[in-house]
Structures are given as structure tokens and as C-alpha cells.
Structure 1
């Protein structure tokens, strides 16, 4: 039995209601995409996924992962606020053991990606989730219909964060350039124009974005007690109220006493981008097992930066794709807001008449897509930070 989803440009593709039992065995026969460095992508069930994920982590999770009713799963499309969401959720969930003011708080010494592990990444590469005490906090980029049925039917809570597609694209493109360089892949030909065309077609890691977002949004309407849907831009405008909302949803709401003591604001401050960037482990450290600098995962963390990299024409085209796909059901970007410390200006593409475009490399070369390099990059690409 199959349902229909659509690619970013509106081409219908069949989506099985139950993932293939032997997905690893059919990977070589799946549609191939090699233009988004440094990975080889394969299209499975309507989504473009990293080949190494389909061969390893995804099958392992499908066949052996045992969820618990108390599990909380953080989900996002890549480059949509994953790292911030991880930090906030971890600090809120573990505050009784690790007060935010504590000098030895894990987030002061470890990356949020070390505190909250990726389910289909670390599980597939040998990490043991069974040893984690309840409540477990896990993360994934998997589309909703590819989550193991054991997760969706076990009563686990899912927290999903979405982001304006324009900012997602720009952040994804810049991140791709950085990690390609870090692992020795020449991505000089991967310009914003190339990334834009592929993104509009949904041919990017995890893509198409809109279908990824829509399914979780629909589930949040059907099961609001099990799926919480958050918007990155709204969280920037009012992080404290969204942190309260998320903590309550996870079953660990803040007490009146905690509110009066400044616990909420202390957690927001601990998890702020400025604080995170200034920590020694992010200024000079490297992601464990990978040798990639932690600073690679941290950029601006603002809304509206797309206007510094995309032409008005590109932005309007992507806005139209979003409008056609969502048909007014869901709004993914706020109207322009007043500038503030936590509320950067969010611009709509039609409000921009001209914008200087940053310089881009013009040389061309074909990046290699070796299996060994894919394995090295796997955890890097999954660690998404705007």
C-alpha cells in the first residue's frame, strides 16, 4: 500500500507506508544524485538520503531499536536549528542533575551533539542507546513516515523544529562548503546557484524539505499530545516561552518557583549562540571521532541571512514553490520584525529590490564520492546548526 508525496517542484512520487525490510540490499538500484558534495545520495520512499545512512544506520534502527514510552525524539530537516534545539531540550530535561549555572554543566564542556545523539547515525555505528537512563533524549533527521513504527506507536514524544526554506538553503550551502573543505572534497563548483536549483527540486540531503515539514506538521495537528511543532523564527523572537512550552510537552514543565528563580532565562542564556561560540571546546575543539572543528557547526543563528546570498528573483521563486506546496496551510517565515538581540530582522523576498551577492568560486571540478569519505562525513553532515 502506498500514499503520494510530492517533490519540491510538484512531481508526485510513491511513498510506501512501511519502509522496505531490506533497504540496504536495494540501495544500488535506487535513483542516484552526486551533485551535492561530499555525499552520494539515493532516493528512497520519495526522499534523498545519504547512501551510507541507507546502508547502515537506517536498517539498524528499523530492525533492532527498542523505544521507551518516556523517550523524547528531536527531529528537524538539516540546517533548521538542530543544535540549538538539542541544547535547550537537554538543559531543560536534565536541569535537576545539571543546574544551568553549574560550572561543570555538560554543555559547557561538550557539544550538544555529544549530549543528544543522532538515532540513525550513532546507533548504526555502534553507539549503545540501551545503556542510556530514562528519559532518553534522541535526535534524527528522518522523515515522519520513515520513523520506525516502534517509535510512532510506543507513545514517544516528538519535538519538531522547522525553518524558513530560504535560510535553510543558505545555511545548508555554506555548511556544505565548509565540511567539503574539511574532508578534502573540492566543492568550488558548488555555487549558491547550483545549490538553489537542487534544493528547489528537493535533491539535497533529506530533501524535499517541504514534504519533510508538512508531514510532521500534520501529525502535530492529529496528535498534539505526542508531536510538538516549533518554528525557528518564532523561537528566536521569544525563546523563554517556547522553552517553557517544550519542557511542559516533554513532561518536565517548570514550576512557579523555578520561574521566579530565573531558571528559564538561565537555560536560554546557557544555550545562546554567543555563549556556545565562546566556549573553549567550540573555539578550539574538534568533534569527537571526526577531527572536524566544532566551530564548523556554528554560524550566525539568525533569521533573514538569506538576503545576503540570494537574489530577489531566487527568493521569489522559492517563495512561490513554498506557497504552491503549502497552499496556505502553514506559514514558514514571519513577517518583517523589529530588530532585537533575539529577534533579528526577517525579510520577505518581495521587500528586497536589490541585494549584493557574496563572491562565489567559479572554478569547476567534480567532487569524488568515495564510500570511505562518506562514512567519515556522515556524522558531520547530520549535526545541523544554522
Structure 2
């Protein structure tokens, strides 16, 4: 067994070493170009294991996102909605004592090591399982794309996404790559070099699939969810065929869901003020500002002009667009 583990470690090392690498914003010293996206070095093997060994169930719900696009909030909402009958009391809800990332794990992260044990723990999760992923649509395991499981995707205005990523990844505990200035990181981002990027192909992959298969993928924008939370939470509830819609007090339940998953509410919980997730990211760093338009405090006019042009060029003709709040 030890020999097999050693052999597997060598294979993993060979795979990572064979890939082009760059420094950029992400949860690792380097990003590797793997299957046409930039994968943090820690997770190349996890992605590989996820694709080869994960078996989706028709009842699974996946929260998919590009990093720093509202993932934590959507994980909380999805977990509460899916588990509404199991945890009907909002006074003693698991979300009050656990971080959303602990309740809704990323398989590509946890399958990076201890493969057998982690596959077992995923298999033993209560159903319906709520799981997260940052993988682009083409890199999802076939069992996800071909099963009847559902995917809720969230994206965010690329200006705010970059600022949130910059603030988050520069505070990571384990990142020891060459430090990038804000301007250097921005140039990389404009070239698509960020963990799980390019951001435009990530968004477009799920966007196009959501148009083709609206019963499979619900596509959300962070800004829309923020500006009319009740409307979009109802959309999630309906998309998941949740029994919440059948009750006479569904509006009151939705209001309670919104409150328990609120940004300030989660930020103020003791469980989210200290400790970390997987020894990499401090919990408190998942709750920074949650605002729309904060990028205006960071960008120079030339940076704004450059990113605006890239957004226009990359998303042109797709039907996907963003309002720039300033």
C-alpha cells in the first residue's frame, strides 16, 4: 500500500510538473494550465480524482461559481433551502454553528488527498447532498453533466470579482508565491490568469449551458441576488422543486431563509469570526464587505477602461452583460 501511495504521489508530481505554470491570484503558490483553465497547484490532482472517482446522484445540488462571486452566500442559501424539512427550526440551524464551506464542501479540494476516505465521506453525506465547485463546466465530471442533478451558478461583475479576489487571496495563509502588486495581479486577471480562470470562459460555459438546459442549470448574478433577494431566492426554491412553495406561508419561510443567510448575520456569528477552512483561509476573510461597486475605490481610470473593453470583447454576442455600478 505504501508503495502504491508513493507511486501515486510520483504520478501526481509528474502531471503537475508537465503543465505550464504562472503566478496569479489563487489558493496556491502557482497556477497550472490544466484542461484549458488555470488550476491552483494544490488542486490539480483533486480535480483529476474528482473527474475519475466522483459519482453524482440525481438528487445532488451543486453550487458552482467563479471564485469570489458570492459563493459563500449561495452555499448558505442552497443548504438552507435543500435541508428545509430536515432543519425547519431557524433557532438551532447548522448554519449558526458551522461555516457554509464546512456544510457545502468542494469535492475538487477535499479529494486532493486521502482519496478513499474522502470518497467514503462524500458517499455518506445525507441526501440530498449539497456540494460546491469552482470547476469550469467542461471540466465537471461526466456523472454530473449526464445525471439529473441540478446546478446553481453564480457570477459577479468582473470589476468587483477582481477586488474581492485581490483582498482574499493576498491574505491566504499558505500562499508563498512571488508577491504581486495590485497592478501586476490586475494584468494577470485581464489575461485570464486567476484560479479557475479565465473568468470569461468560466461564466460563458455555464451561461450557454443554462440557456440550453434551463432545467439543469440556474444562472444567477450576484448583483441581481443582492438587489432583489426575495425574487431570486424564490427562483432557487422553484428551480429545486422545494416543498417550501407548497406551503401557505412560503413568503414567511423565504423571509426567514434570507435573514438567516444574511451577510451581516453570518459575519457576526462566533463560528465565522475565528478559525480557518482546511488550514488555508481564515473564516473571517469570507465576509469582507459584500457590497456592489467597491471596485471604484481601487481602480485607476486606465484600469477601468481596459477591463471594460475586455468585458465587451469577451462577452460580445453572448447575451450576458453586467451593469457597472460606480
Tell me the TM-score normalized by structure 2. Answer: 0.89
Distance 1:265 1:112, change over 3 A: same
**Contact map agreement 1:231 1:332 (CA 8 A) in 2:** no
C-alpha contact 2:61 2:151 (8 A) present in aligned 1: yes
The answer for the alignment partner of 1:281 in structure 2 is 271
- 2:135 match: 142
> 1:259, CA displacement in angstroms?
2.0
The residue that corresponds to 1:110 in the other structure is: 98
Residue 129 of structure 1 is matched in structure 2 by 122
State which drifts further: 141-150 or 286-295.
Answer: 286-295
Question: Is the 8 Å Cα contact of residues 167 and 304 (structure 1) preserved in structure 2?
Answer: yes
Q: Which residue of 1 aligns with 2:8?
A: none
What is the aligned partner in structure 2 of residue 160 from structure 1? 153
Uncovered stretches (5+) of structure 2, i.e. residues with no partner = 1-10
Could you tell me how far apart the structure 1 residues matched to 2:140 and 2:299 are?
Answer: 33
| Match status 1:151 vs 2:140 | no
* 1:266 maps onto 2:256 in alignment: yes
The aligned counterpart of 1:231 is 221
Report if aligned partners of 2:315, 2:321 keep a CA contact under 8 Å in 1: no
Task: Quickly say closer, same or farther: Cα 1:317–1:294, change in 2 above 3 A.
Answer: same
Which residue in 2 is equivalent to 1:174?
Answer: 167
- CA 1:146–1:136: 2 relative to 1, 3 Å: same
Say whether the 8 Å CA contact 2:174–2:280 is kept in structure 1: no
Distance verdict in 2 for CA 1:290–1:230, change over 3 Å? same
Contact 2:207 2:320 in 1 (8 A): no
Aligned to 1:58: 47
Aligned to 1:355: none
Aligned twin of 2:298: 309
TM-score w.r.t. the length of structure 1 is 0.76
Higher helix share: 2
Q: Does structure 1 conserve the Cα–Cα contact (< 8 Å) formed by 2:38 and 2:196?
A: yes
The alpha-carbon deviation at position 23 of structure 1 amounts to 7.9
Tell me the CA shift for residue 36 of structure 1.
4.0
Select between 303-312 and 115-124 the one with higher mean Cα deviation.
115-124
Contact 1:83/1:113 (CA < 8 Å) preserved in 2? yes
Unaligned runs of 5+ in 1: 1-21, 336-345, 348-386
Q: Which residue number corresponds to residue 77 of structure 1?
A: 66
Shift of 1:332: 3.7
Contact map agreement 1:175 1:297 (CA 8 A) in 2: yes
Alpha-carbon distance in structure 1 between the residues aligned to 2:37 and 2:81 = 32
| CA distance in structure 1 between the aligned counterparts of 2:281 and 2:318, rounded to whole angstroms | 40
